[in-house]
Amino acid sequence: MTKTKPYILVLRGVLQDAEGRFLLMQRAAGCKGWPGKWEFPGGKVDPGEEIGKALVREWKEETGLDVLVDHVVDAFEWERENDRILYIVFRVKSVLSGEVVRSDEHDAFGWFDRQAMRALDISPALNRVVEMLCA
C-alpha cells in the first residue's frame, strides 16, 4: 500500500485598495519556507476552525486589519516533499480603514499595482494567483 502525503489547508486573501493596488507581505528572512518572498496574507486553518473565521483571524494576526471574506478567486494544490498544500484564495474587503501593522512573520509589506506586483519575488506557489490577477 502506498502512503500518500498529508494535506494542509492554507487560505490566502487578496485585498485591493481604492487605487487598485494589492497588499502583499514579504516573508521574514528567518522563515524556514521561502524567506524574503512576497505573498498574500493568510495562513493555515486550525483543526475544527471555520474557513471564513480562519482567514479573518490570519489577516488580523499578520496585518492588524479587520477584513470580510468575499468570494473564492482560486483553489489549487501545491506539492512539497513531505506534504501537499491545498490553497484557497479569497477576495477580502477591509472593514475599517487603518494602518497595516505587520507581524513578526514578515519583514515588510506594500501596496502594489499590477505591474509592480509582477516584478516582485513572489512565493512560487502564489505566482499563478499574481498571473491571474494581472491577466
The predicted structure's pLDDT at residue 106: 94
The predicted structure's pLDDT at residue 47: 92
The predicted structure's pLDDT at residue 98: 76
Does residue 1 lie in a domain region? no
When divided into structural domains, the chain yields a total of 1
CATH number at residue 85: 3.90.79.10
The predicted structure's pLDDT at residue 51: 96
Entry pTM:
0.92
Q: What residues make up the domain containing 102?
A: 7-134
Collapse the DSSP code of 69 into the 3-class scheme (helix H, G, I; strand E, B; otherwise coil) and give the result. Answer: strand
At position 40, the amino acid (one-letter code) is: F
Does residue 66 lie in a domain region? yes
Q: What is the dihedral of CA 55, 57, 26, 90, to 10 degrees?
A: 20
Does residue 100 lie in a domain region? yes
What averages of pLDDT result for each successive group of 10 residues across the chain (135 residues)?
Answer: 82 96 95 91 95 97 95 95 94 85 92 96 95 93
Does residue 2 lie in a domain region? no
The predicted structure's pLDDT at residue 119: 96
Please say whether the beta carbons of 35 and 27 come within 8 A. yes
